[in-house]
Amino acid sequence: MSRDLHNMIDLLIKKSYEFLRRQEDVKYGLLKRISDILKKCRQSIKAAYAQDFTMARRLLDEVQHDIEKIVKMASKNGIYDTWPPIVQTYQEFLEAIFIYWFTSGREHRLKSKPPPASILYAASDLIGELKRVMMENLRRGRLDEAENAYSLMVQLYENLSTIALGEAVLPGFKRKVDVNRASVESAFTILNEELRRKAFLSSMEKYFEKKHNDNSQRV
């Protein structure tokens, strides 16, 4: 190997190392900020379920502002919004927004366009979250609300199950859709059992009420 070639390779190695080292430092800083953002997303979801929509919206506004800052910092340092932690951050943010919409009936306008993958992942995660909502409504005896949650689960699954993209574009998405199918199927079974139970109890109440009225008329 000639000395010139050796020096050239050494220079390339040095520049590559310096670039990746800078990226490493930036990514560690971004990951710390992302951790705080994900915490706020969970707090927003909790507030939405508690019907504290003012707090939920305030947290969503903060998250949106924080995401804009980390995306700008990442882009400045050659890190794109396809970086998995950024995709996940948008995913969690969108799920919190979807739950806010669902629980409050109010929209929350996005100021920046999320990565397409984040939207699909968030919609998939929402199906599992809606099953928990359905179960909680059943526990509280809110059958109409439970049916509403299940109906949205089915609509989302029907949309997502038609998406035919490979692992190279949407890693893990097919597996998530398989999990979604299992969630929808089990939710259908649970909801149907509750509907049959309620119908049975209603028919029994009517039967005993009629029998009581008939006995009263005889007396």
> Which CATH number characterizes residue 170's domain?
1.20.58.2140
What's the predicted TM-score (pTM) here? 0.81
Residues 28 and 24: their CA atoms lie apart, in Å, by: 6
Q: Please indicate, yes or no, whether residues 144 and 198 belong to a single structural domain of this protein.
A: yes
96 lies in some domain: yes
Cβ atoms of 68 and 12 closer than 8 Å: no
Cβ atoms of 71 and 26 closer than 8 Å: no
Q: Is residue 204 left, alpha or beta, with left meaning phi > 0 and alpha meaning psi from -120 to 50?
A: alpha
Instruction: Residue 90: give its domain's CATH number.
Output: 1.20.58
Residues 151 and 137: their CA atoms lie apart, in Å, by: 14
Q: Please indicate, yes or no, whether residues 86 and 126 belong to a single structural domain of this protein.
A: no
Cβ atoms of 86 and 70 closer than 8 Å: yes
Can you give the pLDDT of all 219 residues of the chain as single tens digits? 577 887 888 888 999 999 889 889 999 999 999 999 999 999 999 999 999 999 999 999 999 999 999 999 999 888 888 899 999 999 999 999 999 999 998 888 888 889 999 999 999 999 999 999 999 889 888 899 999 999 999 999 999 999 988 888 899 999 999 999 999 999 999 998 887 877 555 555 554 555 555 556 555
